[in-house]
Chain A
Amino acid sequence: MNNKIALPRLSEVSDYDSISCPSKAIRRGMHCPLFGCTLIMKYINDMAFLIVGTDECGFYSKEILKVTSENYLISPVYTYAVEEYDVIYGCSEKIINSLKEIQQQEKPSAICVISTCVPELIGEDLKGVIKKAQSSINTSIIYCTAHNFKENSHVDGMSDLLECFTQIMEKQNKVSKTVNIIGYRDDDIINTELYQHLMKNNIKITTSIPECGSVLKLKSATSASLNIVVDPIGLKLAKKMKEMFNIPYVVFGKYADPEKIMNSYKKIWKVLDIKEDKELILKEQELINKWNELKIRNDKVSFVYCNSRLISIDLVMMLVKYGFEAKAVYVISKNDFDREEFDKLKKYNTNPYMMMLTDFSVNDLLVENLKPTLFIGQMREQSIEEYNVKNVSTNEVESNLGFCLSKAMLDAINTALNS
């Protein structure tokens, strides 16, 4: 490839976490883990948050809340802005005083302390501080880390914050035929295939995390019989709830592969004692047939994959399985679903360039040099025209959970190919 940026191929990448940025001087980069935590904050109305970090951490969080929340200015998100003195001498007493002030001001059901790069780097024992504070503050205090030198992006931030919600959960008796939906943040869940299937079988949804709305609802999660994880940000939480409360989980990811979707349904049926759904079995077969039609195309189709609503690596594997050539694959921001699929991709007969998308200017360079038939992901109109590439953008595929989503993606790919 005629460019100054060295791109490794899949065969040169030993594991998912070794996938790296194409350039050393990263332009823009991925969002910080704190960004991810801030995106979740709006969902739990009676939880206050204390960000322990620099002024910038707090400033940018408020800027994000301005976009995501009503009444952002008085939303219970506080910043303790660490100063030089704190770095040298510590700030435990000041943090405790801050927590007391927040408790007095907000009277929240819980307070979450979010520790960012600076306190983590200096080794401020915030867990110990919280334990000390708890003796004089009559509100549950939980602790979450969001440091960008260990975590990659906002996805990790969301994932870690969700996991830390287990700190306020307590064991409860299980109620049969109930589930939690973990990780859902899209449009109304009642329109999804999964939800409608659960309702059809009289399965009650105990709560949806993070959209549950309150600390009480969060706590109620431990009465569910099953956790259904629909987004990678929920996987750590589900694993922790299995460990702490013995609540099983099923990953119901946004797969392209109909067999994986059916596998997820079967696991749900087994745990919840639901009969096989003939309609869904038929849907699976229809979808498999539709995917098979890709095999009989005469033309050689190549693609660069950037992003979509589906699990990236799963979609890439499906396209490769049906004879498409993967020229380059971006990881937008690393996530646990992709991480779990990565080793399978290594076994496929494909060797695309692999990189972390942190610099959109590389998009054009790749398309110009690799000349793929298809570009899957967000691309500027100008670039689509300039490089004469067929584009499948996320916007063309409506969000859903189940076979519908895989079919919608397949339809979008076919539409682009036939355009």
Chain B
Amino acid sequence: MALYRYYPIPGDRMGFLWCATQIKDIGIIEFGPMGTTNFATRHMGQQCSIHSTHISDHILTFGDSKNLELAVKEMDDTGEYKAIFVMLSSSTAIIGFDIESFCLELQPLVKSKLVPISFCALGKDYSYGINKTMMLVMKEFVVSYPKVKNSYNILGACNDEYLIKNDVIEIKRILKNSLGLNANLVYPLETSYEEVKHASQAEINIVLRNEAIPVAEYMLKEFSIPYIIARPYGINATCKMITDIAQKLQIDVNKDWLNSQINSLPKINNVTEDSVCILGNFSMIQGICDFLNQEIGINNICGFVFQHTKIKENEYIKKYSEKLFDEWMIDNKPNIVLGNSILTDYNNINYTNNVIKIPICKPYGVAGRDAEPNFCLMGFNGYKYFCNMYHF
């Protein structure tokens, strides 16, 4: 569907930017109008600088790449960038500008590694963009290093998820205390060219979302790094993550610590009347649905997958469409909502004062103005947060 009243599903370009802007020592130059770059600098990550050449109809008509060449050289001359992503915009993608050949021809004249990026935001969604970007960056930058004992990578920690920074902090805390493990790389979140380059040092990869599975497969094949898939919402999934890693690495779990964590957690009762709506990416929804249904016991759940990707629907998971979403919201009037601004700011129904609203993905709030969140939803602290919200 292409007509949106609320937010459109973000496209592949935004997926790319959510990943790439998290990597320090990388620059991005967009061959396109500066308006979209302006938006991106305000709404995407701050680790990596985004530039634009701007564009005119002369350039679009004749495919004149002189400005792009000068822009790349200007960035390269600063010495700040190990690599420069040379990115098309929708306009330059439509005219068929050959960004790959451009980079190939210019590479001998610059020190930074030039990486052509040709997402065009014409139908493919951010999930596709994240998937392709993670793989591209891995293939371009990662080299073989000796393994560092007791280390792991988190793959698929992506900035489109509103709570991801705090979720990662919680995962790190759990793995340090339960298994004595240290994070080698959290990808692609607040990382750097050097960290990504050393990704092969890890003993195991922890995959947080489907988009990162191809990267994990690639690292298994190229660097013999095994992986597990985890989305640790709730006690059960968190414990499963710990035991899966322990099994793969053949290490012991610190059961005392684990038990002390679990025993300190509150319980939730009387959930039969609850109704939950979730809006987010597929992995997020699957994990939260499992937690709320199997662990907490809530049955009336609907997770709308905010992606264009083909998915296998079931009683809890549906593909997002505004019509379906509006109908469900009006019929069910949920008292627990987890999602982006479409859910938290939804005003076709009157949310009661008791409704629990948990932002879990972007867009949420006002970029650059609102404070960062101070809670997580994954792990034991995430479970605790949910219980506290529920009991209030």
Contacts and interface: CB of A to CB of B under 8 A. Distances in A.
Nearest to A106: B5
Interface string A1-42: 000100000000000000001011111111111110000000
B366 A67 contact: yes
Interface residues of B, number: 60
B122 A82 contact: yes
B363 A24 contact: no
B56 A62 contact: no
A56 B39 contact: yes
Interface stretch (B30-38, B139-147, B381-389): B30-38
A66 B74 contact: no
Contacts of A201: none
Give the most central of A21, A63, A80: most B CB within 10 Å.
A63
A276 interface: no
Contacts of A35: 35, 38-39
B121 A54 contact: yes
Interface string A67-98: 10001111001111111111100010010011
A31 B8 contact: no
A41 B107 CA distance: 45
A101 interface: yes
Contacts of A79: 3-4, 8
A232 interface: no
Nearest to B67: A24
Given A87-B122, A149-B33, A149-B60, A56 B10 contact: yes
B34 A26 contact: yes
B56 A32 contact: no
Contacts of A24: 53, 67, 70-71, 74
B222 to A, nearest CB: 32
A153 B33 CA distance: 10
A62 B91 contact: no
Interface in B1-51: 2-11, 13-14, 29, 33-39, 41, 43, 49-51
A281 interface: no
A4 B38 CA distance: 23
B55 interface: yes
Nearest to B73: A24
Interface stretch (B166-174, B227-235, B344-352): B344-352
Contact of A25 (B8, B29, B35): B29
A283 to B, nearest CB: 40
B202 to A, nearest CB: 34
Given A24-B67, A73-B345, A82 B35 contact: no
A4 B51 CA distance: 17
Interface stretch (A115-123, A263-271, A304-312): A115-123
Contacts of A339: none
Given A25-B29, A26-B52, A150-B56, A84 B123 contact: yes
Given A25-B51, A29-B37, A55 B11 contact: yes
Interface residues on A, range: 35 or more
B54 interface: yes
Give the most central of A30, A77, A101: most B CB within 10 Å.
A30
Contact of A32 (B35, B57, B77, B94): B35
A60 B39 contact: yes
A121 B34 contact: no
Contacts of A121: 60, 91, 94-95
Contacts of B95: 121
A73 B53 contact: no
Contacts of A62: 6-7, 363
A205 B156 CA distance: 58
Give the most central of B2, B7, B74, B90: most A CB within 10 Å.
B2
B367 interface: yes
A29 B7 contact: no
B124 to A, nearest CB: 8
Closest 7 CB pairs of A and B: A32-B35, A29-B34, A148-B33, A83-B123, A55-B8, A25-B51, A25-B71
Interface of A: 4, 21, 23-35, 54-56, 58-60, 62-63, 66-67, 71-74, 77-87, 91, 94, 97-98, 101, 105, 117-118, 121-122, 147-150, 153, 358
Interface of B: 2-11, 13-14, 29, 33-39, 41, 43, 49-57, 59-60, 67, 70-72, 74-75, 77, 89-91, 94-95, 120-123, 125, 341-342, 345-348, 363, 366-367, 369
9 contacts: A29-B38, A32-B36, A56-B13, A56-B14, A63-B367, A67-B366, A118-B91, A121-B95, A149-B55
Given A26-B54, A118-B122, A147-B33, 18 more contacts: A25-B52, A25-B53, A26-B52, A56-B14, A59-B7, A59-B8, A60-B36, A60-B39, A77-B5, A80-B3, A83-B122, A84-B122, A91-B2, A121-B91, A148-B36, A149-B33, A149-B59, A358-B54
